[in-house]
Amino acid sequence: MSYNTFGHAFRFTTWGESHGPAIGAVVDGCPPGIAITETDLQPFLDQRRPGTSRFTTQRQEPDQVRILSGVFEGRTTGTPISLMIDNVDQRSKDYSDVAKAYRPGHADYAYDAKYGFRDYRGGGRSSARETASRVAAGAVARLVIPEVTITAWVEAIGGDAIDPANFDAAEIGRNPFFCPDPVAAARWEGLVDTARKAGSSLGAVIGCAATGVPAGWGAPLYAKLDAELAAACMGINAVKGVEIGDGFTAATLRGEDNADAMRPGDNGPAFLANHAGGIAGGIATGQPITLRVAFKPTASILTPVETIDRDGAATEIMTKGRHDPCVGIRGAPVVAAMVALVLADHKLMHRAQVG
Amino acid sequence: MSYNTFGHAFRFTTWGESHGPAIGAVVDGCPPGIAITETDLQPFLDQRRPGTSRFTTQRQEPDQVRILSGVFEGRTTGTPISLMIDNVDQRSKDYSDVAKAYRPGHADYAYDAKYGFRDYRGGGRSSARETASRVAAGAVARLVIPEVTITAWVEAIGGDAIDPANFDAAEIGRNPFFCPDPVAAARWEGLVDTARKAGSSLGAVIGCAATGVPAGWGAPLYAKLDAELAAACMGINAVKGVEIGDGFTAATLRGEDNADAMRPGDNGPAFLANHAGGIAGGIATGQPITLRVAFKPTASILTPVETIDRDGAATEIMTKGRHDPCVGIRGAPVVAAMVALVLADHKLMHRAQVG
Amino acid sequence: MSYNTFGHAFRFTTWGESHGPAIGAVVDGCPPGIAITETDLQPFLDQRRPGTSRFTTQRQEPDQVRILSGVFEGRTTGTPISLMIDNVDQRSKDYSDVAKAYRPGHADYAYDAKYGFRDYRGGGRSSARETASRVAAGAVARLVIPEVTITAWVEAIGGDAIDPANFDAAEIGRNPFFCPDPVAAARWEGLVDTARKAGSSLGAVIGCAATGVPAGWGAPLYAKLDAELAAACMGINAVKGVEIGDGFTAATLRGEDNADAMRPGDNGPAFLANHAGGIAGGIATGQPITLRVAFKPTASILTPVETIDRDGAATEIMTKGRHDPCVGIRGAPVVAAMVALVLADHKLMHRAQVG
Amino acid sequence: MSYNTFGHAFRFTTWGESHGPAIGAVVDGCPPGIAITETDLQPFLDQRRPGTSRFTTQRQEPDQVRILSGVFEGRTTGTPISLMIDNVDQRSKDYSDVAKAYRPGHADYAYDAKYGFRDYRGGGRSSARETASRVAAGAVARLVIPEVTITAWVEAIGGDAIDPANFDAAEIGRNPFFCPDPVAAARWEGLVDTARKAGSSLGAVIGCAATGVPAGWGAPLYAKLDAELAAACMGINAVKGVEIGDGFTAATLRGEDNADAMRPGDNGPAFLANHAGGIAGGIATGQPITLRVAFKPTASILTPVETIDRDGAATEIMTKGRHDPCVGIRGAPVVAAMVALVLADHKLMHRAQVG
């Protein structure tokens, strides 16, 4: 029993491997009558696609998304929207070592333990390439929630964080790091270059904020908005931690300091703080939803690591092929997509119950 | 569309409010033939139940769990197991203020925004009392996974952390804090007492480890083991952050330092480290599954906080009633229960697909 | 992996066995703010409950339904509604024969084959007693769809059908057979009495119509309204066939005779016929939804039948205990409840997608 | 909230419209390690595909199925299997009348009522063309249940039934009607020809039997094997009725006549009859699973029928384009596919719970 579907009322199913002919997503439950063309989706794919700077993998994928169903005369019909992205730049011969031995930190061993064998080419289904399908589906989701604005950025690379005082959302699109702090962006060039040349890799932290989410979205108790955001983000390749609002810092605060006090406002309460990250009891409060997501360093590195082969014998592995020196960077548009998918789902779930 | 069910193959549904006549859970999908009585479940309820020390709420609830179905002659039959726990110590009159105004940091405002009104008595459905149902269901789940041992403990209160060098699992049950470090436990007495007497509250971090999970459990890509653990834990009342393995620390490591190198072992690989927390690609690696969960401080405090009433007018609120000075403490058995529930589900999901 | 939950946006989960302490249902996803008390539900339970005439089982169950959660100050809160019905008139000693041997036509053998053993008292989970939970949940569902009127009746017993020319909905509640034809009702007294005294049993056909369903409800392609009605009704104990609209008769018609021609009407089309039973392409057309459901004769009979015991040896069985001579009769309120549950679910699903 | 996914542990999602570029299915949960190539699937597609005789629509579709994911080196990997079938012979201009007015008996009006507009070309998503995706997915399902043999046939056309005494399974593949009775097959040539030339259409009844299903598969109470077969079959285009075993005839029998008596057998009981159609209490008994499915006559006919247009004005419609004179004929391989899909799912569900 595997699960390749996410969501309740607005759902998507992804399929495809890194080195198969294509990857794709089927989006189900989209409301009818929404204007949509492939050009609405492509910009989001372009943000995530590889090969656009020396700081990402050099695999050249145009990531052109095609809509195969669910749209008629430029509008969604309410039937499943099938999205497909061709794989064009596979180099499966790079993976002969990976076929035989397990990359520490990668899913190779776990897949073999589960399924008995695996498609080792480019990581198969466990490749971050699959996240292109999420981004395509997420682009559809954004059209379902025009009232919401989602922004994601890189907050730290290899432990080197931005200065919040420098935060400028307009900067995010101006550098290859989705970095809102131009000073940090400049530093990161050297940092990532050094790691890449050393055959190493770096972790990263992504920040994300969604504004315009109406108070009331959310589905307690077992599809709480924060629980689903946690699942959506923890399920992204290489993610090891998720925080909502103040996250682990909240665990160090006293109750009166963590309380988001309220005053009368024009539309519902005017909150004096947002420690909660816009969610209470699993339900949106109307404040910005804020989260942070930790990406581990890319597991495929050119540095040799002690491991075992498929027969259990000792060996070393050094991953050839083309890889991101910091997979977290391209995680920014993926986190944004997952947040959009969760919010679109919760918008529809909310109106199912409350009308 | 609300969701009060969790799980795929092994599922549970909870119901009930803080001040209703009872709360309960229906466990569905439990394998048949498992020996079970109420005395197998009660010890887990007793760990979580309130009123056992001055460091928890003084509400006196015996939390006696009854099995109403699904068991015949001491064994599970494969049909739904209905578990019920009576509420006996409600004091709804304490909540007249909460009825009128919103506690900052609590779900009061969000529930009203969603549903138009709410059962304000004791927090209604949003009360941590509901977690007793999770613990009861989790106790059933543990019987489904006898190969797994789950331990949860408090790792920090109010920012004061245990010393890992002092970690002794045997200590966890010997103090009112589920604290594995006797030195920290002694300090926390004063810390929590001070907060309680000041009408304040404290956050906490829970640590949890599950050993004995076979390599292969997990269901990529959208029911990944780590994603579901994240959802399970982030959905617990007051939780704001979840880490698997090294979590946010992994984001500061280099690839070669984060790699869990492998050597030939007796049963599969012998790992030299466990940065991954026992999960790769959403699948168990056979190493201990480790996670950390951040609880914010209790929102219901005796310190007055600025807020608004149901009509939107400015007011102050100070929560009378009986509350935990640190709701995270009793979170330890709840986290353990949620981990058990996720693992039982994934055991069954794994054998559905792989046999 | 068992499934004791039905529905998508409006869901219910049932639990309980014939001879356990109680049975119940948890209704999830109910919209908030609906006025509800136990007296709104009880009349539906009373229709189905046994012991009200000599034509049903003589087990005396008051079937008093209690609401344990999800309602505050007389209105639904949007949280799970837990419904419980005590079992009071169990006589488990009647079942010593059933414990040892399999009743042909009953689920005894199949349950043993699946689970290895079974709760044989009164049929355990496979008892028609479980349908009381469905009726309770269905009574909640009716409150969610006040625009819809659902009527169910017995159309034939033992092959003896009503005369459509005599159909009078007002008669349904006036006789112990839910029979809309007073002439047939009079005949059935003798028919059922004779079967009962002979230690035999009879099958029945239930008819049902739902008027007021707005055109547009339905969820193609794999939660079509007709597919879900078929699942809902085929899943009732003893049901072996379901027809929508003309059903099997439609298979004998020519296209032009089966077409429900349309003329301009006041609110959408005025249909000239309703061969389709109010559903096309899985979506409601706005016409009355009509269906027919076939119940086999009760399997528990006082006539000896050749069978095997749990060890596989040849034996005979004659079911003592108290049983309905025609379980289909009490199927009428159960079919109505299931139709209500499907329609409430589809109302919410429709507004999730279409608003 | 639409649903285009079917199944629990073995699931499939379909997408695509009659006149879009392609249609497809994503199969999720397939066990790993099963040998599979496109040539294993194609014969089932060929059975269903149109244009192979004058008794089906003349639309020429090769229905070549491609596997885009989930298979590596000729074996399933346990990841989603994406199946795609190109549409090559669309003639959308035939549908200008359908764009403007509603075909009685078709889903045109209902789709407009639900979604506000529709892809009218060839019926869009409501076209029987979608069933090719089901057949492709069903062909995968068959590989998951090699212990089961599924046979489907046409039992009656336009009310003219086969003679059970003539039943010869080997005949099914020898005529264009999936008819097991060569005498009936000869009669049906004239019957269907006459209807076709008259611009009319005919209904049909499909019979199906699945042998080799082990006793114990099934998932009471709300995913009963018979309930899911009913949903699977009632959800096929044009189906209006489903019977398991004796179906509506069972409603006319007495208890002792409907009982499937048992004697000691070699492997479990030797049943003396199979009125139940191989299912009791929603669980397989080990006997052949038998069902009957009623298809209404094709709604798209060349005979003019009174209707209304999109503006609600009176008009007449006569469906040009290419249509099956009896859509039920090609329903035989579709019913077989749906039965395979349900059984594969229940095999995996059974081993999830029972091991």
Residues of B in contact with A217 (CB under 8 A): 114
Is there a contact between C353 and A348 if contact means CB atoms under 8 Å apart?
yes
Contacts of residues A181-185 at CB distance under 8 Å and 24 or more positions apart, as own/partner, are A184/A160
The beta-carbon neighbor of C82 closest among B11, B16, B348 is B16
What is the percent of chain B where pLDDT is above 90?
89
Q: Which residues pair with D81 in a beta bridge?
A: D27
In this prediction, residue A116 carries a pLDDT of 96
Closest residue by Cα to residue C135 from C25, C265, C279, C15: C25
- Choose from B5, B14, B23, B69 for mutation: most chain C CBs within 10 A: B69
The answer on pLDDT for A46 being more than 80 is: yes
Closest chain D C-alpha to C130 CA, distance in angstroms: 9
B179-204 per-position pLDDT tens digit: 999 999 999 999 999 999 999 999 99
Is there a contact between B241 and A242 if contact means CB atoms under 8 Å apart?
yes
Instruction: With beta carbons less than 8 A apart as the criterion, state whether C308 and C314 touch.
Output: yes
The answer on pLDDT for B3 being more than 90 is: yes
Residues of B in contact with D79 (CB under 8 A): 220
Residues of A in contact with B250 (CB under 8 A): 203, 240-241, 294-297
Closest chain D C-alpha to A120 CA, distance in angstroms: 9
Confidence class for position A98, pLDDT limits 50, 70, 90: confident
Is there a contact between C29 and A352 if contact means CB atoms under 8 Å apart?
yes
Is there a contact between B224 and A235 if contact means CB atoms under 8 Å apart?
yes
The per-residue DSSP string of B143-199 comes to HH-TT-EEEEEEEEETTEE--GGG--GGGGGGSTT--S-HHHHHHHHHHHHHHHHTT
In this prediction, residue B320 carries a pLDDT of 79
Residues of A in contact with B245 (CB under 8 A): 240
Task: Give the list of residues 6+ apart from residue A146 with CB closer than 8 angstroms, or none.
Answer: none
Instruction: With beta carbons less than 8 A apart as the criterion, state whether C85 and C22 touch.
Output: yes
The answer on pLDDT for B307 being more than 90 is: yes
In this prediction, residue C320 carries a pLDDT of 79
- Euclidean distance between CA atoms D56 and A318, whole angstroms: 59
Is there a contact between B352 and D78 if contact means CB atoms under 8 Å apart?
no
The beta-carbon neighbor of B31 closest among D1, D9, D355 is D355
In this prediction, residue C51 carries a pLDDT of 80
Instruction: With beta carbons less than 8 A apart as the criterion, state whether B329 and B236 touch.
Output: no
The beta-carbon neighbor of D251 closest among C244, C295, C349 is C295
In this prediction, residue B61 carries a pLDDT of 86
Is there a contact between A33 and D80 if contact means CB atoms under 8 Å apart?
no
Residues of B in contact with A299 (CB under 8 A): 255, 258-259
How far is C-alpha A334 from the geometric centre of its chain's CA atoms? 3
Task: Give the list of residues 6+ apart from residue C286 with CB closer than 8 angstroms, or none.
Answer: C213, C214, C215, C267, C268, C269, C278, D113
Is there a contact between A110 and B216 if contact means CB atoms under 8 Å apart?
yes
Q: How many Cβ contacts (< 8 angstroms) between chains B and C?
A: 151
Mean pLDDT by runs of 10 across the 355 residues of chain C is 94 97 98 98 94 83 95 98 94 81 95 96 94 98 98 98 98 97 98 95 98 98 98 98 98 96 92 98 98 96 94 92 89 98 98 95
* Burial classification of residue B74, based on how many CB atoms lie within 10 Å of its CB (0-12 exposed, 13-18 middle, 19 or more buried): exposed
Is there a contact between A117 and D75 if contact means CB atoms under 8 Å apart?
yes
In this prediction, residue D55 carries a pLDDT of 86
- Choose from A19, A79, A87 for mutation: most chain D CBs within 10 A: A79
Residues of D in contact with A32 (CB under 8 A): 114-117
The beta-carbon neighbor of D348 closest among B31, B79, B352 is B352
- Choose from A348, A353, A354 for mutation: most chain C CBs within 10 A: A353
In this prediction, residue B95 carries a pLDDT of 77
In this prediction, residue B278 carries a pLDDT of 98
What residue has token string 């019957």?
Answer: D191
In this prediction, residue B271 carries a pLDDT of 97
Is there a contact between D219 and C280 if contact means CB atoms under 8 Å apart?
no
In this prediction, residue B229 carries a pLDDT of 98
* Residue D176 known to bind ligand: no
Give, to the nearest 10 degrees, the angle between helix D108-115 and helix C331-354: 60
**Range A184-204 average pLDDT:** 96
Global pTM reads 0.98
D167-222 per-position pLDDT tens digit: 999 999 999 999 999 999 999 999 999 999 999 999 999 999 999 999 999 999 99
β-strands D289-295, D283-284 pairing: unpaired
Is there a contact between B79 and C29 if contact means CB atoms under 8 Å apart?
no
Could you tell me which residues of B are annotated as the binding site? 48, 54, 125-127, 237-238, 281, 296-300, 322
Confidence class for position B284, pLDDT limits 50, 70, 90: very high
Closest chain B C-alpha to C118 CA, distance in angstroms: 6
Lowest mean pLDDT among A135-149, B5-19, B321-335, D185-199: B321-335
In this prediction, residue A52 carries a pLDDT of 81
* Burial classification of residue D311, based on how many CB atoms lie within 10 Å of its CB (0-12 exposed, 13-18 middle, 19 or more buried): exposed
Residues of D in contact with A78 (CB under 8 A): 2, 114-115
In terms of CA atoms, which chain A residue is nearest residue C349?
Answer: A352
- Euclidean distance between CA atoms D98 and A132, whole angstroms: 38
In this prediction, residue C95 carries a pLDDT of 77
**Alpha-carbon distance values, A271 to A151, A267, A277, A330 (Å):** 21, 11, 11, 33
Confidence class for position A29, pLDDT limits 50, 70, 90: very high
A208-241 per-position pLDDT tens digit: 999 999 999 999 999 999 999 999 999 999 999 9
* Residue A298 known to bind ligand: yes
Is there a contact between C77 and B124 if contact means CB atoms under 8 Å apart?
yes
Closest chain D C-alpha to C135 CA, distance in angstroms: 15
Confidence class for position D17, pLDDT limits 50, 70, 90: very high
The beta-carbon neighbor of B200 closest among A158, A255, A314 is A255
In this prediction, residue C233 carries a pLDDT of 98
Closest chain A C-alpha to D106 CA, distance in angstroms: 17
In this prediction, residue C53 carries a pLDDT of 85
Is there a contact between A8 and B1 if contact means CB atoms under 8 Å apart?
yes
Instruction: With beta carbons less than 8 A apart as the criterion, state whether C96 and C89 touch.
Output: no
**Range B38-43 average pLDDT:** 97
DSSP D35: B
User: And the tokens for A89?
Assistant: 């730049």
Give, to the nearest 10 degrees, the angle between helix D331-354 and helix D131-144: 40
The answer on pLDDT for B48 being more than 90 is: yes
Is there a contact between C269 and D308 if contact means CB atoms under 8 Å apart?
yes
| Gyration radius from chain B CA atoms | 21
Query: What SS3 class is residue B236?
Result: coil
The beta-carbon neighbor of D78 closest among B9, B348, B353 is B353
In this prediction, residue A268 carries a pLDDT of 84
Q: How many Cβ contacts (< 8 angstroms) between chains B and D?
A: 42
In terms of CA atoms, which chain C residue is nearest residue A221?
Answer: C79
The beta-carbon neighbor of B9 closest among D1, D79, D352 is D352
The beta-carbon neighbor of D68 closest among A4, A21, A79 is A21
Task: Give the list of residues 6+ apart from residue C112 with CB closer than 8 angstroms, or none.
Answer: C102, C118, C310
